[in-house]
Every structure is written in C-alpha cells, then in structure tokens.
Amino acid sequence: MRNLVLRIMGAGAIFLGLTLSAGAQTDDHLKCYKIKDPLKLKGVVDLDGVQFGLEAGCKVGKAQLFCVPVTKNVQEAFNKKTSIDPLPIFGPAIKTDSICYPIKCQKPQIPPTTVTDQFGSRTIEFKKAFMLCTPAFKGVPPPIPCENSDFPTCAGECADATLECLPQFNADGTPGKCDCQPPPTPCALSANGVCGGDCPVATDICQWDQVAQICDCGPTLGKCTDSLFPTCSGPCPLGQICTNLPGSDLCDCQDQTQLSCSDTKFPQCNGPCPTGQACTVIPGTIDCNCQDVSTNCANTTFPMCAGPCPLGQVCKNLQGSDACDCQPESQFTCNAGTGFPECNGTCPQGEACLPDIDPLSPGVCGCAPAGFDCGSNNLPPPVCGGLCAPDQFCDVDTVTGLCRCTQ
C-alpha cells in the first residue's frame, strides 16, 4: 500500500475517515489540519467501545490536529501500478468538527481483521492506538441535544421546535432518559366531564379525586366494587362517589345527587342536607345523619363542648385551650386529658371518669367506681363530687348545705 496514489480535490491535507462511492456528495470524510494549540494538555483517560472493549489508563498529550467534515471526489487511485475502481462504500454524514490528541495506550489484543472501504478489501493488523479525536465547535458551542442532557432536568434542545425536552420514565416508574416529546396535556376535566391528561410518573393515572373534587394524578386504584366498607375506595365517574350501599358493607359508585345522608356510614358520611346542616356521624354510632352545623364539636367552646364525633372519639377541649374538637378517647386519660365538668377520659375497667372525686383537688377529673354518686364524699366543709345525670352537676345545696345533683 506504500505506492497507493490519491489525488483529492481541495487543499492538500491529511485524510482520515469513512469513504463514499465516487460522485456522491456527503460530508462523511474528515480532513485534518496540523495545528498549534496553546493548551498544553496532559491527562489520563479510559477509553471504552463496543468493538474493542475497554482500554484503561491511556495518556493524552497536546492536540495536534483539527479535523473538519468534507466530501471527496476521486480523480484516480492506484495500488502500485494497478488502477483502482472505487467501491460504493459510504457512511453517515459527519456533523461536527474534531480535535485530535496523541494518546499512549497498552497494546490491544485485537486479531487481524478484514476491512473494506472505497479502495477495496484487505486484512489489517492492529498496533497501538495513537490518536483520540473529540467533538469540537468553532466559536460558542451549540445547545446540548435533548437526548444528551442530564436527567431529570432535561434542559437540552429539540430539533423540532414543536417538541419539548422531557424526562421519560420506564414502565415501572424508574428513571429513564431525556427525549423530545409533544408538550404534555395537563391532567384536567375535559369538556365532556371526563378526567384526562398526562401524568409525570408512568404508573400514575389522571383520575377524579372525590375528596378534593378535582382531576389529579395518582396511583392506579382498584375498582370501587372491589372494596368493602369502611374502606370504600376506587375511581368513580364525575358526580359519583365510592361509598357503601345502604344497609350493606358492599361498595359501589353512587350518584351524589341521589344519595341520602342517612344511607351512608362513618367514615364516609356524605349526602345532601338542608341549609345550615351537615352530613355527619351520629354520636356513639357509625350511622350518619343531617345535623345542625352549629352543633358541630369544633363550633363549641369549653366548658360547653358538644357535638357529634366519629365512633371512638369524644368532643372535648384541646389541652391548654378553650377550643373544642373531636379527639380519640384512647389518646387521653381521665385525670390528664380532660377538663371539669367534661370528664370523659379513659379509666380502668369497672370505673368511670367523674368530677371532684378528690376533695383536696376540686375541679379535677378522676377515676372512681361507677357507683360513686353525688354526696358520698362529703367532708366538712363539704366538697361535692360524684356521678350525676348528664345534664346535672354535683354541687352544694344552698338550703341543706349537703351535696346534691343540681341543674
């Protein structure tokens, strides 16, 4: 091959790269110029490729060549004295310039390989790699292509201005890559009353949130009919909610406008009520009914805390405050979590939470046998305490001076 003669149109320079059939005009060649680079580079790199694998610890030196894409038209070519007819071999167009650096790597273990280019087929032997060419740009580099940008910010550029660079997730919801895609359609209610749109997480769906009363992205829910009261859940058409069927533990989507409050059960009290009333739980039960909003627990203040609360909760003042709210019975004790006259905390079995059972601590709730009645702990002067009817208090009778239940 020493006598191979090439005459290439254009300025004289070193020729590297792929070849193309005669007459074709595609920039699939690289023409490389010797350069003087002020950057005195010294470095070590690992080079990995599909064809020859990893070559680690290669030393890199100061740049020697600047290569640009060109087309080529072969005027004549010879192998010694034998004329060469160019073969129809071509490659993809090269779109970027390159700067080439000398490298020193370990000698690779690559067997002789048969290759073919425009000038024929032959078997070549591999020696050490000696040049590494990197992409380069004249002036300011162009924006990063979308597919090469960092996930999940995906700030790259799309060739098609109508597309956006967006993060794409795998089917199992794990991070994927950046890709140019049509702009996402927000999850929202369509004109025909159906939730639709794109969700950022692949495993989520755009569905009706019956609590917030909006379309929102969330995990795929099972069918409403697959659940049982009191955990009725699942997507329903707009205007319907997933709740228990009247008199049953079975759940189904039901029209809110046709659903009666008394048909539902806590914790899914819902249904229309007259103005000034709300569908809420009947105290001490799991049944729901329309009740005056003014009697809601949160609308009252100590010592008149009153109003319906869910089963297992009581309407009582918040510790350190006169405000009332429904609170789980299991979270407070009689003498620590309640306030006179609303003694309603937890006590040992067989005892009740009563006011003023300790004469030395008037106005404090405590646990006492359930039969502990008003007046049984009289001491001079009388300090009244004990059990009375719900609407009465154990207090001193102004006439007799003894303890008795009074309004």
Residue 205 is assigned to a structural domain of this protein: no
Whether residues 20 and 130 fall in one domain? yes
Whether residues 128 and 160 fall in one domain? no
Residue at a domain's end among 125, 156, 181? 181
Q: DSSP string spanning 269-315?
A: ------TTEEEEEPTTSSBEEEEEGGGSGGG-BTT-------TTEEE
Whether residues 95 and 39 fall in one domain? yes
Residue 386 is assigned to a structural domain of this protein: yes
Residue 320 is assigned to a structural domain of this protein: yes
State how many domains the chain has: 4
* Confidence band for 288, pLDDT divided at 50, 70 and 90: confident
Residue in this structure with the two tokens 């779109």, named with its chain if needed? 95
Q: Do 349 and 316 meet the contact criterion of CB atoms below 8 Å apart?
A: no
Whether residues 286 and 366 fall in one domain? no
Q: How far apart are CA 179 and CA 148, in angstroms?
A: 9
Whether residues 152 and 118 fall in one domain? no
Whether residues 356 and 319 fall in one domain? no
Q: Which residues contact 288 (CB under 8 A, 6 or more apart)?
A: 261, 262, 264, 265, 266, 269, 270, 271, 279, 280, 281, 282
pLDDT in tens, 334-387: 765 455 555 666 666 556 666 655 555 656 677 766 545 566 444 444 556 666
Residue 121 is assigned to a structural domain of this protein: yes
Whether residues 61 and 155 fall in one domain? no
Whether residues 9 and 132 fall in one domain? yes
Predicted local distance difference test score (pLDDT) of residue 216: 83
Q: Which residues contact 331 (CB under 8 A, 6 or more apart)?
A: 337
- List phi, psi (to 5°) of 319: -55, 130
Task: Tell me the CA end-to-end span of the chain in Å, nearest whole number.
Answer: 120
Whether residues 47 and 83 fall in one domain? yes
Range with lowest mean pLDDT among 17-26, 100-109, 216-225:
17-26
Whether residues 129 and 152 fall in one domain? no
Whether residues 116 and 10 fall in one domain? yes
Residue 76 has pLDDT above 50, yes or no: yes
Q: How far apart are CA 284 and CA 311, in angstroms?
A: 5
Tokens of 349: 């079995």
Residue 199 is assigned to a structural domain of this protein: no
Helix (H) or strand (E) holding 43: strand 43-49
| pTM for the predicted model, two decimal places | 0.39
Domain limits for position 407: 351-407
Residue 226 is assigned to a structural domain of this protein: no
Residue 342 is assigned to a structural domain of this protein: no
Q: How far apart are CA 175 and CA 44, in angstroms?
A: 31
**82 φ/ψ sector (left φ>0, alpha ψ -120 to 50, else beta):** beta
Whether residues 79 and 127 fall in one domain? yes
Residue 141 is assigned to a structural domain of this protein: no
Predicted local distance difference test score (pLDDT) of residue 381: 47
Q: Do 22 and 8 meet the contact criterion of CB atoms below 8 Å apart?
A: no
* Confidence band for 1, pLDDT divided at 50, 70 and 90: very low
Q: How far apart are CA 233 and CA 125, in angstroms?
A: 70
pLDDT in tens, 190-218: 766 667 888 877 778 787 776 677 788 87
Nearest to 7 by CA among 122, 99, 84, 112: 84
